[in-house]
């Protein structure tokens, strides 16, 4: 669930402009439609209700000197709508309409909160805003850097396999399209508190995280463990982010890339330039975990050791 920052003075209204089918059932990323095979998506403005209210989001921009520039997100933050204790994965698909109801709830609430994406119990995903160009109010300090993705849940922590699988597919496809490296925390990492590195929003934390990783207020079950286990099963790398393992590994990778003629800052943060260098070296979409056409296991090709 998004962290609700403050109460609105007036009730929000979603735009009354007539909407037509625009995205044809895909994610909207920097004005480009990105379909996700096997997942039904109600795209941004594909339905009259499928967009965030102006009070729940803003342009993802900041000032650089006196210029306004668009910021590129480097995190994908997973949420559960209730974060009930514990979590129970239920076979099959659940009742329809949950993504619509969640979007309506945000639009009708006097509080400012909402996420870019909502996966319903039936596995249908609503994309409510451009994932790159729009900053949604879903995770306070990390809003500027992140895409917010809710998975609907029933009281008692129950959520459906159809929803879980759709969330994973959309997360993997969205991260690839945005150039967010496929990496996530190690199994069992959550100790009841966010990492210090995330308290400023996680300027150098790249990857797929949970709402619990940046706030004291949501707890273990926002979003729980199962979605992360599914991501790791799909080949997403895992690091000890609290110990900055990711930074050490990526510094090694940046040195390796520089040895091949690239001129990267060795800072351990795989930003746009590092991703572009990996793409030039044949890595699919510049994502390390996706490997090259020669190997799907890049670790076998590039020896990684930790720099201490």
Q: Give the span between the Cα atoms of 182 and 270, in whole angstroms.
A: 11
- Can you give the length of the chain in residues? 308
Smallest separation (angstroms) from Zn ion to the CB of 131: 17
Smallest separation (angstroms) from Zn ion to the CB of 32: 27
User: Which of 52/287 has CB closer to Zn ion?
Assistant: 52
User: Which of 121/211 has CB closer to Zn ion?
Assistant: 211
- H or E element, residue 149: strand 146-151
User: Which of 122/153 has CB closer to Zn ion?
Assistant: 153
Smallest separation (angstroms) from Zn ion to the CB of 189: 17
Helices 272-280 and 245-259 cross at an angle (nearest 10°) of 50
Interacting residues with Zn ion (CB under 5 A): 1, 79, 211, 222
User: Which of 51/211 has CB closer to Zn ion?
Assistant: 211
Q: What Cα–Cα distance (Å) separates residue 108 from each residue in 66, 117, 125, 176, 186?
A: 36, 17, 20, 33, 37
Smallest separation (angstroms) from Zn ion to the CB of 190: 14
Contact 159, 80 (CB under 8 A): yes
Q: What Cα–Cα distance (Å) separates residue 117 from each residue in 5, 69, 102, 156, 178?
A: 19, 24, 10, 22, 15
Q: Would strands 207-210 and 125-127 be described as parallel, antiparallel, or unpaired?
A: unpaired
Smallest separation (angstroms) from Zn ion to the CB of 1: 4
User: Which of 1/168 has CB closer to Zn ion?
Assistant: 1
């Amino acid at each position: 669930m998004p962290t609700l920052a403050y109460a609105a003075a007036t009730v929000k209204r979603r735009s009354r402009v007539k909407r037509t089918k625009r995205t044809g059932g895909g994610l909207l990323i920097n004005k480009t439609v990105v379909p996700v095979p096997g997942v039904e998506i109600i795209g941004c403005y594909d339905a009259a209700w499928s967009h965030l209210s102006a009070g729940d989001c803003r342009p993802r921009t900041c000032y650089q000197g006196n210029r306004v520039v668009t910021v590129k997100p480097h995190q994908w933050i997973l949420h559960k709508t209730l974060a009930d204790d514990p979590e129970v994965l239920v076979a099959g698909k659940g009742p329809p309409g949950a993504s619509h109801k969640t979007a309506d709830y945000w639009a009708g609430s006097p509080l400012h909160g909402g996420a870019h994406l909502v996966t319903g119990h039936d596995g249908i995903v609503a994309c409510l805003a451009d994932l790159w160009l729009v900053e949604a109010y879903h995770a306070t300090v990390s809003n500027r850097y992140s895409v917010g993705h809710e998975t609907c849940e029933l009281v008692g922590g129950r959520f459906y396999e159809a929803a879980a699988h759709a969330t994973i597919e959309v997360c993997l496809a969205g991260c690839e399209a945005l150039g967010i490296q496929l990496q996530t925390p190690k199994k069992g990492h959550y100790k009841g508190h966010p990492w210090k590195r995330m308290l400023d929003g996680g300027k150098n934390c790249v990857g797929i995280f949970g709402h619990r990783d940046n706030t004291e207020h949501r707890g273990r079950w926002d979003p729980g463990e199962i979605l992360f286990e599914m991501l790791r099963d799909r080949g997403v790398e895992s690091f000890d982010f609290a110990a900055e393992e990711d930074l050490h590994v990526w510094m090694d990778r940046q040195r390796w890339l520089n040895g091949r003629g690239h001129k990267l800052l060795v800072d351990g943060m795989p930003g746009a330039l590092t991703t572009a260098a990996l793409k030039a070296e044949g890595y699919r979409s510049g994502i390390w975990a996706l490997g090259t056409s020669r190997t799907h296991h890049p670790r076998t090709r590039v020896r990684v050791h930790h720099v201490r």
